[in-house]
Structure 1
Amino acid sequence: MSCFRVSVIIPALNEEASIGRTVRSARSAEDIEVIVVDGGSTDSTANEARSAGAVVVESGKGRARQMNAGAQRATGETLVFLHADTVLTEGWRGEVDTVLSTPGVSGGAFQFKLADSFAGSRFLEWGVRVRSGAFSRPYGDQALFLRKRLFCELGGYADLPIMEDYEFCRRLRRSGRLVMARASAITSGRRWQRLGVLRTTLINSVVIIGFHLGFSPARLAELYRNAK
């Protein structure tokens, strides 16, 4: 099996508490380039990222904009887009190579796992497994990965304030299958814990439906941010 140099791109904004752990999880594999794209943090995110071994790039605020900036800077043949509050687990690099070496595959993502257990957390993980596996609809917190060449051919992420991962995956599926790796990406459940699984799921569903109906992404982002 061919092995490819991998660039892990982490958009971050005021994530000093988690960024070091996230970078170290990515650097646990060999031949990995880790790029943290800082969107104007006012805390020690950049310093923590450098201390953990990442290259830090600055860009304008906005996850899509930051991920595109990281992809432009990346030297790897394969790109992994990792959220700043998410860690990769042992063996992740081999899983990326295996998935992307499969004929007809355009990209992949990792299994969704929450860092903490709370009311409804296991049901949530099960629901995400069904959505991702049966319907090939992973979200950004599952660390999407693909070849850089294809990313560039697709024009990168649309500069949207929300739903940039959802919109990109719709385009990516037209180029081939999206396959789930066996390894997990362990992500923070802070929003789910704060708002509750049912309420958060409802909010996410409203945003997705609104996006399909053509509502302004800016208004949908405001709705998402202001949810209490």
Structure 2
Amino acid sequence: MKPQISIIIPVINEAAQLADKLQALQALRVRCELLLVDGGSIDASATIAAPLVDQVLHSQRGRARQMNLGARHAQAEMLLFLHADTRLPERAVELIMSAVEQGAEWGRFDVQFDSPQAIFKLIACMMNVRSRLTGIATGDQAVFITRQAFQAVGGFPEIALMEDIAISAALKKIGKPCCLKAKVVTSARRWQHHGILRTILLMWRLRLRYFFGAHPDELAARYYRRQ
């Protein structure tokens, strides 16, 4: 039986928390297929994932490249791109399929962080409001796209950074995103590790430079320099 949704999970060195994240998706395998795309991990990510997903695919490093490979191997007509550190809300499949039945070609969920700190509630609120106003979805929001729409825009541009913003801009020409109010829960670990204010300022600066034409390779070098 063909799955309703192909859930595509790009990873790189996520062994420490991957088993727990994939266990949370097991109940969905009755209706969905899970495709994990490893971008050259040097840890045990692929080995840990193997019994918990339908396919483990191997790709060159690069989130856009990994997600495009997953889409090429997907069986379903609906594609859901999920970060390894993001947890889907209850009834995610029903919410997506209902949106499609009502004519949505693509969309995303609202987001919240897995930290009780008030600052993360504010950051999440700002991300969700900005997304509604601009029609731009970020990868943390678990973007879903019909196969037809995905192919119409040529998939994710295989750029080093900002691939989520780039594909959102292309998809907006097809139709407005469906902004689901149900919340995915994403990890605050990188924000906490690198400093909350520093991360906010960095992301604002990178996005501003991208909109003014800076090359994604240049932006990626700046972003990953902090890792």
On the 8 A contact 1:124/1:197 being kept in 2, the answer is: no
Q: Number of aligned residue pairs: give it.
A: 225
Q: 1:117-174 CA deviation, whole Å, 9 max, x = no partner? A: 2351111111112112333222001110011121112100111010001100000111
User: Residues 3 and 75 of structure 2 are in contact (CA less than 8 Å); yes or no, is this contact kept in structure 1?
Assistant: no
What secondary structure does 1:120 align onto? helix
What do residues 154-195 of structure 1 show as CA deviations (whole Å, max 9, x unaligned)?
A: 100111010001100000111001012232211111121123
8 A Cα contact 2:35 2:53, kept in partner: no
Deviation per residue, 1:185-219 (Å, 9 max, x gap):
11111121123332212111111111122212111
Distance apart, 1:21 and its partner CA:
2.7
- Determine the C-alpha separation between the residues in 2 that align with 1:226 and 1:118: 26
Query: Aligned equivalents of 1:7 and 1:43: distance in 2?
Result: 25
Q: Which residue of 2 aligns with 1:81?
A: 81
2:110–2:179 Cα contact (<8 Å) kept = yes
Q: Cα 1:198–1:9, aligned 2, differ >3 Å: closer, same or farther?
A: same
In the TM superposition, 1:173-192 aligns within 5 A as 173-192=172-191
**2:6 match:** 7
In the alignment, which residue of structure 2 is the partner of 1:94? 94
Matched residue, 1:118: 117
RMSD: 1.7
Q: Distance in 2 between matches of 1:86 and 1:40?
A: 20
Deviation at 1:44, TM superposition (A): 1.0
SS in 1 for 2:83: coil
| Offset, 1:225 | 1.3
C-alpha distance in structure 2 between counterparts of 1:50 and 1:41, whole Å: 14
Moved more, 211-220 or 15-24: 15-24
Query: Is 1:164 aligned to residue 170 of structure 2?
Result: no
TM-superposed deviation, 1:4: 6.6
- What amino acid is aligned across from residue 27 of structure 2 in structure 1? S
Q: Which runs of 5+ in 2 are unaligned?
A: none
What CA distance in whole angstroms lies between the structure 2 residues aligned with 1:178 and 1:27? 27
State the AA in 2 paired with 1:27: Q
Larger mean CA deviation between 115-124 and 57-66 belongs to 115-124
In the other structure, the counterpart of 2:131 is 132
The equivalent residue for 1:66 is: 66
Q: TM-score, normalised by structure 2?
A: 0.93
* Contact 1:8-1:82 within 8 A present in 2 as well: yes
Q: CA deviation at 1:23?
A: 2.5
Unaligned runs of 5+ in 1: none
Is this contact kept in 2: 1:25–1:89, CA < 8 A?
A: no
For residue 97 of structure 1, what is the amino acid of its counterpart? M
Three-state SS of the structure 1 residue aligned to 2:165 is helix
Give the 3-state SS of the residue equivalent to 1:146 in structure 2: strand
Deviates more, 1:77-86 or 1:186-195: 186-195
Take 1:213 and 1:174, find their aligned partners in 2: how far apart are those partners?
20
Q: Percent identity?
A: 33
Equivalent residue of 2:178, what SS?
strand
Residues 13, 41 of structure 2: 8 Å contact kept: yes
2:45 corresponding residue in structure 1: 45
Question: Which residue does 1:195 correspond to in 2?
Answer: 194
Instruction: Report the secondary structure of 1:200's partner residue.
Output: helix
